[in-house]
Amino acid sequence: AAKAAGKNQVCVFDPRLRAEQVGRSRLVSGLRHALSRDELVVHYQPVVDLVTREVLSVEALLRWQSARGLVMPDRFIPVAEDTGLIVPIGDHVLRRATADARVWFDAHGVGVHVNVSGRQLRRPDVVPTVLGALDAAGLPGRALVLEITETALLATGKPETALVAAHLSELREHGVRVAIDDFGTGYSSLAYLQRLPVDIVKIDGAFTRFAADPGDEARRRRALATAIVDLCATLDLQAVAEQIETAEEAEAVRALGCPLGQGYLFGRPVPRDQIAPLLGSPDVTAHRSR
Ligand code: C2E
Ligand code: MG
Ligand code: MG
Ligand code: MG
């Protein structure tokens, strides 16, 4: 109705719009207190070697245990980014994840991946913040991977991408690695490979889901997945296939030469105490189906 009324008019009576605004402002005020109330918890999901099925690292994934139930990151991360709350929240995740990873890294060499938003990476103090978290945890830089999405960078112009690249380069001098997340879903995936210092490419699940269905669309996906895996090998980047749910999918991406994988087949995101038993075992799937 608001659209039909013309772009200069606001329809305040649209009940759906009204409900959305109420929902959002509640979300914002709840999120403001989530940190001090200790409602933000970090879960961990394994990243495995597709040949040996060994867990090489884990990805930290944030959950919000609010008074009204568990809230998933896709619902509150965009709001946290808009309001700037992502900065203190991101610091919290970084501190928590590096502290948790200390034991796993010492015992098994298992490092941790932390998702970071463009807003965090543009801050002038991002380098000391990251190094400070590693230091406090007693971890070397090589135990940490920062995951950035193209969408997180899309909001930024070219000069800002250069600033992000400078910060990432500095962190890489300390051994921290950089992963491009959800690769292939953005507008300029290949441009980012050129403009940002990258070590790891996480291939979006949309490309790895081609095993079961032999149709035309699956053939295209397989062709694209093959091209991305080959590109990574040529550029000396580690490829991770995301969202692997079945044994067929795991075998299909492995056959393309993709070295690493992640997905429900190998383990769902779980609290810290539940990830520890999966580490150091030779085959995480054998352990899981025990
Ligand atoms: P992401 O970084 O691409 O994380 C992978 C998402 O895929 C996770 O969703 C994970 O639970 C899900 N996933 C893993 N394996 C499978 C599978 O086999 N099948 C399916 N269908 N899904 C799978 P989650 O935890 O809901 O997180 C969503 C997104 O929220 C993340 O996508 C990431 O972009 C963002 N996010 C999560 N934690 C943080 C954080 O601490 N900071 C920031 N800035 N963003 C975060
Ligand atoms: Mg990620
Ligand atoms: Mg991803
Ligand atoms: Mg994602």
Q: What is the pLDDT of residues 110-135, one digit of tens each?
A: 999 999 999 999 999 999 999 999 99
Closest ligand 1 atom to the C-alpha of 117? 44
Q: Given its phi and psi angles, is residue 159 left (phi above 0), alpha (psi -120 to 50 degrees) or beta? A: alpha
What confidence tens digit (pLDDT) does each residue in 250-276 have? 999 999 999 999 999 999 999 999 999
The answer to whether 288 and 48 have CB atoms below 8 angstroms apart is no
Q: What is the pLDDT of residue 162?
A: 87
By alpha-carbon position, which residue is closest to atom 41 of ligand 1? Answer: 62
ipTM of this predicted complex?
0.99
* C-beta 168 within 6 A of ligand 1: no
Q: What is the pLDDT of residue 284?
A: 85
Using CB atoms within 10 Å of the CB of residue 23, give its burial: 0 to 12 exposed, 13 to 18 middle, 19+ buried. Answer: exposed
d(CA 84, CA 104): 31
Rounded to the nearest angstrom, the distance between the alpha carbon of 184 and the centre of ligand 3 is 11
d(CA 189, CA 201): 10
What is the rounded average pLDDT of the residues 26-43?
93
Q: Counting ligands in written order, which one lies closest to the CA of residue 202?
A: 3
Q: Counting ligands in written order, which one lies closest to the CA of residue 45?
A: 1
Q: What is the pLDDT of residue 5?
A: 45
Q: Residue 55 above 80 pLDDT?
A: yes
DSSP 276: G
- Quick one: three-class SS letters along 124-157? CCHHHHHHHHHHHHCCCHHHEEEEEEHHHHHCCC
Q: Residue 4 above 50 pLDDT?
A: no
Q: Given its phi and psi angles, is residue 289 left (phi above 0), alpha (psi -120 to 50 degrees) or beta? A: alpha
d(CA 243, CA 245): 6
Q: Who wins on pLDDT, 158 or 66?
A: 66
d(CA 80, CA 100): 23
* C-beta 115 within 6 A of ligand 1: yes
Residue 233 tokens read as: 């090998």
Secondary structure class of 36 (helix, strand, coil): coil
- Residue 195 banded pLDDT, cuts 50, 70, 90: confident
CA atoms within 13 Å, Cβ hemisphere of 99: 8
Q: What is the pLDDT of residue 93?
A: 98
Rounded to the nearest angstrom, the distance between the alpha carbon of 240 and the centre of ligand 4 is 13
Closest ligand 1 atom to the C-alpha of 149? 34
Determine if the pTM surpasses 0.90.
yes
- Residue 11 banded pLDDT, cuts 50, 70, 90: low
- Whole-number percent of the chain with pLDDT over 90: 69
Q: Who wins on pLDDT, 11 or 152?
A: 152
